[in-house]
Amino acid sequence: MTAMDITAGLRRFREDGFMVARGLFGYDEADRLCERFTALHAAGPVPGHFEPRAADGDPLRAYPRVMQPHEIDALALRTLLDPRLRAVLEELLGEEVLAAQSMFYFKPPGARGQALHQDNFYLRVEPGTCVAAWIACEAIDRENGGLEVVPGTHRMELFCPEEADPGASFAREYVAPPPGLRAVPVDMAPGDVLFFNGSLVHGSQPNRSADRFRRSFIGHYVGRSAERIGGYYRTLSMRGEPIALPESAGAGPCGTEFTAPHGPH
Does some domain include residue 242? Answer: no
State the Cα–Cα distance between residues 26 and 33, nearest whole angstrom: 11
Does some domain include residue 256? Answer: no
Does some domain include residue 219? Answer: yes
The domain tally of the chain equals 1
Q: Is 195 helix (H, G, I), strand (E, B) or coil?
A: strand
Does some domain include residue 258? Answer: no
Does some domain include residue 250? Answer: no
Residues spanned by the domain of 189: 3-237
Can you give the pLDDT of all 265 residues of the chain as single tens digits?
766 677 888 899 999 999 999 999 999 999 999 999 999 999 989 999 999 998 788 999 999 999 999 999 999 999 999 999 999 999 999 999 999 999 999 999 999 999 999 999 999 999 999 999 999 999 999 999 999 999 999 999 999 999 999 999 999 999 999 999 999 999 999 999 999 999 999 999 999 999 999 999 999 999 999 999 999 999 999 999 999 999 999 888 888 898 744 443 3
pTM of the model as a whole: 0.94
Does some domain include residue 101? Answer: yes
Rounded to 10 deg, the angle between the 83-93 and 3-16 helix axes is 50
CATH number of the domain enclosing 32 = 2.60.120.620
Give the largest Cα separation in the chain, rounded. Answer: 50
Phi/psi for 73 (5° steps) reads: -145, 130
Q: Would strands 97-105 and 66-67 be described as parallel, antiparallel, or unpaired?
A: antiparallel
Does some domain include residue 248? Answer: no
Does some domain include residue 253? Answer: no
